[in-house]
């Protein structure tokens, strides 16, 4: 760190990592290696199934394929770094490397946020407007929703990360985390952290709550439609159509709201680390399992692929 007239020019950061207990490092490394392997196999397998099976070339599964791609990308932005730290590797990350890691993790996590909202709208159209589904969810509509999710998310991440890394760091270059997460980086800046965190909370709230409004509205309409159904088989089909997505939404937003949308006084670094492990590593592993175990079309496509080869 170079000190210049009460300003601190940071050229690199030191990550404290998950633990300094040497007896835990190998078990944690093996655990995260297993989690990351399942994440890679599950998400790549889901993408492969959707690409190869023409029966899955529908909006719902195209959304799901993009969700798998996003899970794979934002997990890969963090997990290899953590595993290197646990092996006793270098815990130093460059200034630019930290910014890049934060950008890609934030961008892909935000894409997931908007994809889940788009999938909720798709489920609304499928359950509430089944006769008009094909005219509502046209190729141009679902393609626009997917491209829009990426464009908005990457623009938001660019502005957000650009704003954070124009600040000066005067407190320390030691990050009390295992990767370059936003709250941990803001805690090192020279400026009024409370004001910055309020801006951060406001920006992230816009992304999260806009998507949540779409999701909650879609599910309220779906719930009303299910209540008005007179057929038991119709009830089961509608619930089955939405069950996987609702599970994925509950896991993702429950963790995000707990992690980010709380005041700084509620942040405890060790708690944040545990929560971060869940949303950065476990959720990307769970999503393909949730969708594959609860979806007959995915299971049938997998069996067909295995039998074919």
Question: What secondary structure does DSSP assign to 141-172, as a single string?
Answer: HHHHHHHHHHHHHHHHHHHHHHHHTTS-B-S-
Instruction: Report the pLDDT value the prediction gives residue 201, as an integer from 0 to 100.
Output: 61
Whether 39 contacts 281, CB under 8 Å: yes
Of 163, 212, 181, nearest to 74 by C-alpha is 181
Backbone angles phi, psi at 105, to 5 degrees: -65, -50
What are the pLDDT digits (tens) for 219-259? 999 989 888 877 777 667 777 768 888 888 888 888 777 76
Whether 289 contacts 243, CB under 8 Å: no
Instruction: Report the pLDDT value the prediction gives residue 118, as an integer from 0 to 100.
Output: 95
Confidence class for position 87, pLDDT limits 50, 70, 90: confident
| 0.85 surpassed by pTM | yes
Superfamily assignment of 10-308 in CATH?
Answer: Rhodopsin 7-helix transmembrane proteins (1.20.1070.10)
Instruction: Report the pLDDT value the prediction gives residue 213, as an integer from 0 to 100.
Output: 92
* The pair of three-digit structure tokens given for residue 43, joined into one six-digit string: 């998400």
């Amino acid at each position: 760190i170079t000190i210049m007239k009460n300003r601190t020019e940071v050229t690199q950061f030191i990550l404290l990592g998950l633990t300094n207990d040497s007896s835990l490092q190998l078990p944690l490394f093996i655990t995260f290696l297993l989690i990351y392997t399942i994440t890679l196999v599950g998400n790549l397998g889901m993408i492969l199934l959707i690409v190869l099976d023409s029966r899955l070339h529908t909006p719902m599964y195209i959304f799901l394929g993009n969700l798998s791609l996003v899970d794979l990308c934002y997990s890969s932005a963090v997990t290899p770094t953590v595993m290197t730290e646990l092996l006793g590797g270098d815990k130093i990350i460059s200034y630019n490397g930290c910014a890049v890691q934060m950008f890609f993790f934030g961008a892909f996590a935000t894409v997931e946020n908007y994809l889940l909202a788009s999938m909720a709208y798709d489920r609304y159209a499928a359950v509430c407007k089944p006769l008009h589904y094909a005219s509502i969810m046209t190729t141009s509509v679902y393609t626009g929703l997917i491209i829009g999710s990426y464009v908005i998310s990457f623009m938001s991440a660019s502005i957000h990360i650009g704003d954070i890394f124009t600040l000066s760091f005067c407190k320390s270059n030691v990050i009390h985390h295992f990767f370059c997460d936003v709250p941990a980086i803001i805690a090192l800046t020279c400026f009024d952290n409370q004001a910055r965190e309020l801006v951060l909370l406001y920006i992230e709230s816009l992304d999260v709550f806009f998507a949540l409004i779409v999701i909650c509205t879609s599910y309220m309409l779906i719930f009303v439609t299910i209540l008005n159904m007179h057929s038991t088989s119709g009830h089961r089909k509608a619930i089955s159509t939405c069950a996987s997505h609702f599970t994925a939404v509950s896991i993702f937003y429950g963790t995000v709201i707990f992690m980010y949308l709380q005041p700084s006084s509620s942040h405890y670094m060790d708690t944040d680390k545990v929560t971060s492990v869940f949303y950065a590593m476990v959720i990307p592993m769970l999503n393909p399992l949730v969708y594959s175990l609860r979806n007959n079309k995915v299971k049938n496509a997998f069996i067909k692929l295995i039998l074919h080869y």
